[in-house]
């Protein structure tokens, strides 16, 4: 009904292009407008002023000959004061923006190695935005923001990079494990050395206590039993120890069979042999 009477409605965040006899006349703001068609006025079309986004995927090669897919997101919008340029000068805005993005990315990325490409995403995005801003402002468009949202190397390259990273981490873990084992072995050796040292001290003190006990026993026996000598006391001590040893061998349930001569004469021989062995060791020392 509005078209019959020459009235049109322009929605919010949108402008309309009015022509008269095929020539641009004015830009119509949001609201209701009268277009008397019988005077040659007509509506050429609408232009959205809303923010739009274009995702561009560009395949290129880095300086170290690795093919990557760079994904750029371009946020742009038409300017209300240049709506006629935005409507008439470009037939396909998205294709034009995509061409500029391809040009800048394929000129910037081949100068960088793969690792540098990941590190300099912001610099690449800034170069794309500056180039688009200069080119698209003449066509009535504003570039609000440009983002490099993803850099995707080839699948084989990603797998190789992951393996390199995993190998480096395994090498660090192996070094840490070896260092821990080294510290553990050092501590174990220090503990064994300290244990042997303390064990030696214990054995030395035990032997010293035995010697002191024997000396006190010999002196006490010689004083309490007149006419006995130190040799008599030592013979008696050796015989006592001999019988204690025999007792322990017989009491052991799992001991091996030991065949030794036994009898009063054998006891005397054992005592003589022990005494002679001690005397010879003392003389050699």
| pTM of the predicted model over 0.85 | no
DSSP-derived secondary structure letter, 92: -
pLDDT-derived band at 50, boundaries 50, 70, 90 = very high
Domains of the chain: 7-48 (no CATH), 52-153 (3.30.479.30)
Judge whether 143 and 74 are in contact, CB under 8 Å. Answer: yes
Q: What is the pLDDT of residues 225-271, one digit of tens each?
A: 676 676 666 667 777 777 777 777 767 666 566 656 655 555 566 66
pLDDT in tens, 10-46: 888 889 988 888 888 888 888 888 877 777 788 888 8
Burial 263-277 (b: 16+ CB within 10 A, else e): eeeebeebbeeeeee
């Amino acid at each position: 009904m509005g078209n019959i009477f020459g009235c049109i409605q322009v929605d919010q965040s949108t402008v309309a292009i009015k022509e008269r006899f095929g020539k641009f006349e004015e830009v119509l703001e949001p609201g209701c407008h009268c277009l008397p068609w019988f005077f040659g006025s007509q509506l050429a079309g609408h232009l959205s002023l809303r923010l739009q986004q274009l995702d561009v995927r560009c395949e290129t090669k880095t300086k170290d000959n690795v093919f990557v897919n760079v994904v750029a997101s371009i946020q742009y919008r038409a300017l209300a004061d240049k709506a006629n340029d935005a409507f008439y000068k470009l037939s396909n805005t998205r294709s034009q923006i995509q061409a500029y993005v391809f040009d800048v990315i394929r000129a910037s990325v081949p100068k960088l190695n793969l690792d540098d490409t990941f590190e300099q995403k912001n610099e690449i995005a800034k170069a794309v935005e500056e180039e688009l801003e200069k080119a698209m402002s003449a066509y009535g468009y504003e570039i609000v923001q440009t983002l490099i949202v993803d850099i995707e190397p080839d699948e084989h390259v990603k797998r190789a990079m992951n393996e390199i990273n995993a190998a480096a981490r395994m090498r660090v873990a192996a070094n840490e494990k070896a260092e821990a084992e080294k510290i553990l072995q050092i501590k174990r050796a220090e503990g064994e050395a300290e244990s042997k040292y303390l064990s030696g001290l214990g054995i030395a003190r035990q032997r010293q206590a035995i010697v002191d006990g024997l000396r006190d026993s010999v002196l006490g026996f010689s004083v309490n039993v007149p006419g006995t000598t130190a040799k008599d006391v030592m013979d008696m001590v050796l015989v006592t120890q001999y019988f204690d040893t025999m007792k322990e061998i017989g009491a052991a349930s799992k001991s091996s069979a030991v065949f030794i001569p036994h009898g009063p004469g054998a006891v005397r021989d054992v005592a003589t042999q022990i005494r002679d062995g001690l005397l010879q060791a003392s003389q050699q020392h």
